[in-house]
Chains A and B, each alone.
Chain A
Amino acid sequence: MNNTVQLFATCLIDTLKPKIGEAVVHVLNHVGTQVEFPLEQTCCGQPAFNAGMRSQARKMAEHTIQVFEKSQNPIIIPSGSCTSMIRHSYLELFSGDETWLHRAQNLAARTYEFTEFLVDILGVEDLDVSFPHKITYHPSCHLLRNLGIDRQPRTLLANIRDAEFIELPHATDCCGFGGVFSADQPEISTAMLNRKIENIISTSAPYVITCDTGCLLNISGGVHRKKLPQKVLHIAEILDNFKT
C-alpha cells in the first residue's frame, strides 16, 4: 500500500518557521509515512482571497492545484486555515467554472489538516511522547469552526506523557490574527490579542499549543513584545518529542 504523502508546508512555515515543517516531517515519518515536498508549492492564495482580491487569489489557487495534482497522494497541511481554504474557499472561488471546480474538488477530497490526518485517517492517537510541562491549547478559528477539528488535537495532547493540560479560559475566542485584518485593523486586533494573552497568563502554563502558524505568530509576537515568558508552539513541535 502506498504510504506517501505530499506536504504543503504553507508560506509562513517555509519563510518564518521552517523548524515547524521539520517537526511535521518527523512526526509523519514516525508514524510510517513517507513525505514528499513538491518544490513548486508557494501559497494557497488565502491572503488575497480574504482581502477580496479574487483574481489574484485565483492565480495562486490554480498554481497550487497544478502543483499538487501531479501526484494522487494525499496532501497534508499543518494549518487549519490553509486546509479550510482548499476544502471550502476553492469551491467558492471556482464556482461557475466547471473545469477548475472539478480539479479543486479533486484536490480538496484528499487534502487533510495535520492532526486530522494523524487521528482520523491513520488512527494514531498516542505518539508516545513525553513533555514534562504545563501546557494549554488555543483552538484556531478556521480549524475549529470551518473544519470542525477539535477532538483530534486534543486527543493527541491528552496522550502526551508527563504533561499537565490546563484548559484555556474562553478558548474559542479569536486571538485577533485574521490574516490581513491584523495589519489593516491593528488596534482591534491588539485588543483581541490582549484578551487572549490575559487568558493564557491565567492558566500559568508556560507552553501554549496551536495548530496554525498564523495564530502562533500573532500570539507569540504579542507575548514577546510584552516580554512575557510564555512560549507558543505548533502542535507538531510538541509531538516531535518521542520517547523512542
Chain B
Amino acid sequence: MKIFKQKIRQALNDQVLQAALDANAERRNAARLTALASLPINYEEAQEQAYKIRKNVIDNLEKYLELFIQNAKANGLIVHTAENAIQAREIILGIAKNNNAKLIAKSKSMVSEEILLNQCLEDSGIQTVETDLGEYIIQLRGEHPSHIITPAVHLLRNQVGETFQKKLGIPYTTDIPILTQAARKTLRKIFLDADIGISGVNFGVAESGTLCIITNEGNGRMVTTMPKIHVALMGIERIVPTLEDLVKMLDLLPRSATGQETTVYTQFIHSPRSNNDLDGPLKRHLILVDNGRRNTNKSPIQDVLLCIRCGACINACPVFREIGGHAYIGEKGEFTPYPGPIGSVISPALFGESKFGHLAQVCSLCGACKEACPINIDLPNLLLRVRAGGKEIHSKKQNFQPRGLTAPLIYSLRIFSFIMQHPKLLLVLQKTLGLFSTIFSLGKPWINLPPFSGWGYSKDIPTPVKHPFREQWVKKAISFKEPPGNFKPSHALMDQQKSLHGGSKRKSLSVKNRTILIHKFEREFTTLDGKFYICSKDTLADKVIELLKSLKTEQIISWNVRGKFEKIIDSLIENNIAINLCMPSNAKVGLTGVTAAVAETGSIMLTSGEGKPLSASLLPETHIAILYAEDIYPRLENVLTLPEVKNASASVLISGPSRTADIEMTLTIGVHGPREVIVICAT
C-alpha cells in the first residue's frame, strides 16, 4: 500500500503529467460528446441496444465462442485457445520458433500487455517492435502504457523529442509532424522486414468468423497485411453475434474512444491470403485468451466483461485526471495495463483481488464513468462490489475487511455502525461530542483537524453542535411555520427518473436519392481530409492521367481487375505509366477501385482478391481510389452484407488519410498509411 500511496503523491506533484492529463480530459470528453451527437439514433437507445447485445454474449459465452471458432476455422484461420497468460505466451513462442522469427511487428493489443508478451519475446531473443506511435514512444522509453487508447497520454511533445533524439538519433525537435515522420521512416522498414505481425482484435463476429480491427495510423493494416504470418490476440469475451451487431458497436466505439465517427481503417479479416490474392499473410493464427475471464463471468462482477475498451470512462474519471494511469498499481507495485474506473474492476477480476482489490477504493463514486460508458456498464456498482469482496460478496460476513482501507478507518466504521443501530446511545454521544468540541474549538464554529485525520489534510470541519437536531425536535426548539395556503400533496408514486440525456428520437438517414448520397459521401469524406473529384464515366481515364501527371509519377502500384477498371489501365499504359501489381518500394501512388462506399461516414471499402493488392491502398504516400457512383450505400450495414465483402479474405474500410493524435492529442496526418487519399467519383 505504501508504494501505491507514493505513486499517487508522485503523480499529483508532477506538473508535466498534470498538464498532460488536463489536456486529455478536456479535449477527449468534448470530442466524445460532439461525435455522439452525430449518432444515427438517440444515444440512450444506442447504449441500450449495445448493452443487450453484449449482455447476451456474456450470458451465452460458450455458445457464441463455439460458433465463432467454428466459422473462423472454416475461413482458414488457425485457432488456438489459451487458459492463461503462460499458455498464451507459449503458443506465440511456438509459432515464432516454428517460423524462425527474428523480428516481430506489433500493433496495439491490450491482451498482449496483459500477458506481458513483449518481455517474453525479447527474453527469447526475438526483437519485438511496437508500431502504434504511442506504444512505440513508450517502448523506446522503457515505460508501460498509461491509458488503454492513448498509451503515451502522460507525455508532452518535448519528452518525445528528447526520446527520439536519444533513441533514433534525429536532431531534437518538438515539431509533431517531424517526429511522426521519423517514426514512419523507422517503422516502415520494420513492417517490411518483420517475420510475424501481431495484432489485437476489437471484435470477433460469431456468425461469420470475422475479425474486426480498427486503427487510425495504418500500423494495424501493416502488421496484418505485410508479414508472412499474422497472429491475432483476442480476449474470449470480445464477440458480437452478427455483422448487424458489429455495425452497432462500430457506431459507438470510435466515437467514445477518440471522438471520431469512424476510425481511418476498419478491417474485416476472414482468412489468410487466398490463391487469387496478391498479398496478405500466408497464415493467420487466432489466439483466444481466457486469463480469468470465464471465472469472472461466474461472479457478481461479470458485467465488466461487457467492456469494449473504448477508454471513455478513463477520460471522464476525475480521479484518473488527477493521478494518471501509472498510479494504478498492485499492492506491492504489480503492473496492470488497465487503469481508471474500468481498470479498477478488470484488474482485480483478472489478476486477483488480493493484489488489485484496493484500486476500487480510489474512487469518489461520482458516476461520471457510467455516464460515459457506451455500453451502459454500471461501473460504480461494480466498484462497490469489488470493495465488498468482488467475486465473493460477504454481505453477512461480520469481520470482512475491505481491501485498501486503513485499520483505523475500518474500526471507526464498525463503531459508527454500532452506534447507528442505537438511537439513544447516538444522542448521548452526539451531546458529548458537541460539548467536547465546543470546548476544544473554544466556542468557534470551525475545527481545524490535523492532517493525519484525512479530512484535516485540506479542510476544516464545522464544530459538532451541543444540541443535535433530534434533541431540538423533542424540546420543540424547531420552529414550525403555518402554511399560507392550501397545498394538497398528491403522493402518487412517481416514475423513476430518466437520466439526463433525454430528447427526441432522431430520424434515421433519409438519403435515398443517388445525388444526395454522392453529396453526403463527398461532405463526410472531405471533412476527413480526403480529396474528392467528380467526373463522367467517359472522362474518367483522362481525369486519372491528369491527376497522375500533376503528382509527377510514372510508376504506380495498382489494382488490375477485369471489367470497367481494365479500360483505365489500358489508357494508363498508353500514356507510359508503369503499372505494378506488387509493391515497388519507390511507387509513390497507389491506384485502386472501390468495392463499395458508405455515405454516412465518407468511407470506402476495399476488398482483397484477384488483381486487388491490399498494399496498393496502404504503402504509397498517395492513394487514388476510383468510385462508381452506383457503389455508394447509405450505411455500413448495407455494405457488410455484400457478397464481395463477405467472401474476401480481408477487406478494409478507409475513412481518409492515415492519422494519429498520440502526441499531445495533436492531429497529424500521414503516419504509416497514405498521407493523401483521393476519390474520383464517376457518374
Contacts and interface: CB of A to CB of B under 8 A. Distances in A.
Contact of A32 (B322, B363, B487): B487
A43 B420 contact: yes
Interface string B298-334: 0000000000000000000011001100000000000
B362 A50 contact: no
Contacts of B473: 37, 39
A30 B464 CA distance: 28
B455 A221 contact: yes
A166 interface: no
A153 interface: no
B417 A92 contact: no
B459 A145 contact: no
Contact of A218 (B323, B413, B459): B459
Interface string B345-368: 000000000000000111111111
Interface residues of A, number: 95
Nearest to A221: B459
A15 B488 CA distance: 32
A231 to B, nearest CB: 12
A134 interface: no
Contact of B417 (A56, A174, A184, A191): A56
A9 B426 CA distance: 14
A220 B458 CA distance: 11
Interface stretch (B99-107, B198-206, B397-405, B593-601): B397-405
B481 A29 contact: yes
Nearest to B22: A195
A3 interface: yes
Given A40-B423, A47-B416, A148 B498 contact: yes
A158 interface: no
A191 B480 contact: no
A199 interface: no
Interface stretch (B166-174, B446-454, B548-556): B446-454
B513 interface: no
Contacts of B393: 54
B41 interface: no
A211 interface: no
A59 B368 contact: no
B461 A60 contact: no
A182 B366 CA distance: 12
A179 B361 contact: no
Given A30-B481, A184-B406, A188-B8, A120 B489 contact: no
Interface stretch (B59-67, B241-249, B384-392, B649-657): B384-392
B281 to A, nearest CB: 46
Nearest to B471: A18
B91 interface: no
A31 B487 contact: yes
Interface centre among B365, B433, B468 (most CB of A within 10 A): B365
A221 B460 contact: yes
B413 A48 contact: yes
Interface in A159-212: 172-174, 176-194
Given A15-B433, A148-B499, A224 B460 contact: yes
Contact of B461 (A18, A121, A146, A221): A221
B421 A42 contact: yes
B469 A18 contact: yes
Contact of A148 (B414, B468, B488, B497): B497
Interface residues of B, number: 92
Interface in B406-455: 406, 409-410, 413-414, 416-417, 419-423, 426, 430, 433, 446, 448, 451, 453-455
Nearest to A122: B489
A110 to B, nearest CB: 7
A179 B453 CA distance: 14
Interface in A27-47: 29-33, 35, 37, 39-43, 45, 47
B465 interface: yes
Given A14-B430, A26-B481, A148-B498, A225 B367 contact: no
Nearest to A173: B318
Contacts of A54: 388, 393-396, 400
Contact of B318 (A11, A16, A22, A192): A192
A33 B487 contact: yes
B460 A63 contact: no
B486 interface: yes
B485 interface: yes
A240 to B, nearest CB: 9
Contacts of A55: 394-398, 400
Nearest to B317: A174
A33 to B, nearest CB: 6
Interface in B49-73: none
A47 B413 contact: yes
Contact of A121 (B371, B396, B420, B494): B494
B421 A52 contact: no
A74 B492 CA distance: 10
A106 B12 CA distance: 45
A15 B370 CA distance: 32
A121 B492 contact: yes
Given A53-B410, A174-B364, A184-B361, A18 B465 contact: yes
B483 A32 contact: yes
A35 B476 CA distance: 13
Interface centre among A50, A150, A218 (most CB of B within 10 A): A50
A145 B421 contact: no
A58 B433 contact: no
A112 B497 CA distance: 11
A17 interface: yes
Interface string A110-122: 1010001000111
Contacts of B397: 55
Contact of B500 (A141, A148, A184): A148
B474 to A, nearest CB: 7
B417 A59 contact: yes
B3 interface: no
A52 B488 contact: no
B365 A50 contact: yes
Nearest to B494: A120
Given A54-B394, A63-B420, A21 B469 contact: yes
B490 interface: yes
B16 to A, nearest CB: 16
B533 interface: no
Contacts of B417: 45, 48, 53, 56-57, 59-60
B422 to A, nearest CB: 8
A192 B364 CA distance: 10
A104 interface: no
B484 A141 contact: no
Given A18-B469, A47-B416, A217 B451 contact: no
Interface string A208-244: 0000000001101110110000000000000000001
Nearest to B381: A92
Interface of A: 1-3, 5, 9, 11, 13-18, 21-22, 25-26, 29-33, 35, 37, 39-43, 45, 47-60, 63, 74, 89, 92-93, 109-110, 112, 116, 120-122, 124, 141-142, 144-150, 172-174, 176-194, 217-218, 220-222, 224-225, 244
14 contacts: A9-B470, A18-B465, A41-B423, A41-B470, A50-B387, A51-B410, A53-B417, A54-B395, A54-B400, A55-B395, A60-B420, A63-B420, A188-B8, A191-B12
Given A17-B462, A37-B469, A186-B454, 5 more contacts: A9-B469, A47-B416, A174-B318, A193-B459, A221-B460
